[in-house]
Amino acid sequence: MPEALNEQEETYIDEDLVTRLLEEGDPEAFREEFLAGHPYDQAKYYEKAGPELRRKMYEFLSPKELAEIFEVSEIADDEFDVYLNEMDTRYAADMFAGMYADNAVDVLNELDKSKVLTYLTLMDDEDAGEIKDLLHYEEYTAGAIMTTEYVTIPENSTVRSAMTILRNAAPEAETIYYIFVTDDENRLAGVVSLRDMIIADENAIVSDIMNERVVSVLVSDDQEEVARTMKDYDFLAMPVVDFRQHLLGIITVDDIIDVLEEEASDDYSKLAGVSDMDTLDRNPITAAKKRLPWLILLTFLGMVTANLMGRFEQTLDQVALLAVFIPLIAGMAGNSGTQALAVAVRGIATGDIEEESKMKLLVREAGTGLITGTVCGIFVVGLIYFWKHELVLGLLVGVAIVGSIFVATLAGSFIPLLMHRLKIDPAVASGPFITTLNDIISIVIYLGLATVFLSQL
């Protein structure tokens, strides 16, 4: 029996009807019903359908039609192979040729190089050439996410001739709301909006109506910097140039949305101490492989903590009650450090920290740690006094909390700033790492103070 669709969110396609038409082998009725839906809904159905249903879809849909579906799909990077292996190799190559070059490159970058070569060999030279050009750019740069399907017009052309160029190029262009203007050597000279083109006199020269102050990015710029620039200027598209201002491509807002989602997911993964959280792993072995490296590292750090506690064994033997408050102090220090870490990493990611002095940030966080530590310390002193009637012990725990929270907050903000200065992703200073580090700091402070004032306990 054909595979049933998984239960997912509702779409505006009659899934039961489409499934029945596929099972009955009625291509005309299937195409009429399925292609009337929005590409997003088509993509959701395609992803939910099992291999049997998808193989029938490949028979009923052209590679170009499937390309439009594939471009808006949310297939995980490590699952592309599963879908492509269901297709005939020639069909898959034609589908890539029908996609916008930048979207095709996003998929091809996740495949084995031998498969990429096979697909490129089966494409015509023009389509393969565009994709090859983009594949050469380093991953996570402007060149890797830009598209070469855009409209340019010469600066010395009239609006009438420019509109003719636009009409001819529009079907293959990814966006036509911004039209970029170039000089005779393909250097970026300006930009004109579609609105300005429509309302301008047909005999006007494009160079007279274009805006010469064009914000552009270098092909080698990091994609996160590009995303920040587009967000700041609220652009729908941005030109990509080389160091001589030659126009190489454009980056559209839909690509930037993908970048923002990817960067946010990457930062969250690192903060959680997981290598990749882009996909929900259904295989426990795969999920374990992603989590084990951090857990093993944290195990070694935990051994450091255990060793430190062993060095204060004599102190704990004499006043066993001290051990009761170790989880409290370590937990509060870890939480404070994680809060400071989150603030620092977010500030670096959004560029806000670049606008203020890093020293000013550290002073502010140190003050915050001192205030929160003092308030929490006083609160704990009162609790211990009324609970155990031990004022000296309460003061010891309170002072330890003040010192631990102060140091933990300072470390949580300083470590990501240091990593950023060293050109290391600050999100690597993950929550579990900071928490374990602050456990060590808090234990040293607490038990160190207890050892010094042991005679008073």
Looking at residue 35, which CATH number applies to its domain?
1.25.60.10
The 10s digit of each residue's pLDDT in 43-89 is 999 999 989 999 999 999 999 999 999 988 888 888 899 999 999 99
198 and 132 in a common domain: no
Domain check: are 26 and 101 in the same one? yes
Answer yes or no: is 122 within a domain: yes
**Is residue 403 predicted with pLDDT exceeding 70?**
yes
295 and 173 in a common domain? no
Structure tokens at 304: 């450091």
Indicate if 185 and 135 belong to the same structural domain: no
- Model confidence at 1: pLDDT above 60: no
Give the residue-averaged pLDDT of 264-275. Answer: 56
| CA pair distance 34, 269, nearest whole angstrom | 37
- Indicate whether 220 and 168 sit together in one domain: yes
Tell whether the model's pLDDT for residue 2 goes beyond 80.
Answer: no
**Number of structural domains in the chain:** 3
Q: Say if residue 326 is in the same domain as residue 348.
A: yes
For residue 71, the enclosing domain spans 15-140
Distance CA 270, CA 338 (A): 13
**Tally of helices (H runs) and strands (E runs) in the chain:** 22, 6
Is residue 266 one of the residues assigned to a domain? Answer: no
For residue range 217-227, list pLDDT tens digits in order.
999 998 888 98
Q: Is residue 169 part of a domain?
A: yes
In Å, what is the CA distance from 67 to each residue of 29, 39, 99, 244?
Answer: 21, 10, 5, 34
Number of residues written out for the chain: 457
Task: Give the domain CATH number at 325.
Answer: 1.10.357.20
Task: Give percent helix, percent strand, percent coil of the chain, each to the nearest 5.
Answer: 70, 10, 25
Q: Are residues 324 and 448 in the same domain?
A: yes
Q: What is the mean pLDDT of residues 196-208?
A: 93
If asked whether residues 290 and 362 sit together in one domain, one would say yes
Verify that 433 and 369 share a domain, yes or no: yes
Q: Token pair 């923002």 is at which residue? A: 260
Checking phi first, is residue 273 left (phi over 0); if not, alpha (psi -120 to 50) or beta?
A: left
Q: Are residues 126 and 226 in the same domain?
A: no
Indicate if 303 and 448 belong to the same structural domain.
yes
Cα separation, 361 vs 359, whole angstroms: 5
203 and 78 together in one domain: no
> pLDDT band at 289, cuts 50/70/90?
low
Give the residue from 120, 140, 160 where a domain finishes: 140
- For residue 4, pLDDT over 50 is answered with no
Strand 247-252 and strand 152-154: pairing?
unpaired
Structural domain includes residue 271: no
pLDDT of 429 over the 60 cut: no
- Which of the residue ranges 15-24, 168-177, 213-222, 352-361 would you say has the lowest mean pLDDT? 352-361
Domain containing 169 — which CATH number? 3.10.580.10
- Is residue 48 in a domain? yes
249: phi then psi, degrees, rounded to nearest 5: 175, -175
The confidence score (pLDDT) of residue 350 equals 67
Does residue 10 sit within a domain? no
- pLDDT for 442 equals 85
First to last CA, the chain: 76
Cβ burial 303-331 (10 Å sphere, 16+ → b, else e): eebeeebeebeebbeeeeebeebbebbbe
Q: Which of 4-8, 346-350, 421-425 has the lowest mean pLDDT?
A: 4-8
Q: Does any domain span residue 9?
A: no
In a domain, 330, yes or no: yes
Q: What is the mean pLDDT of the chain?
A: 83
117 confidence band (pLDDT: 50, 70, 90): very high
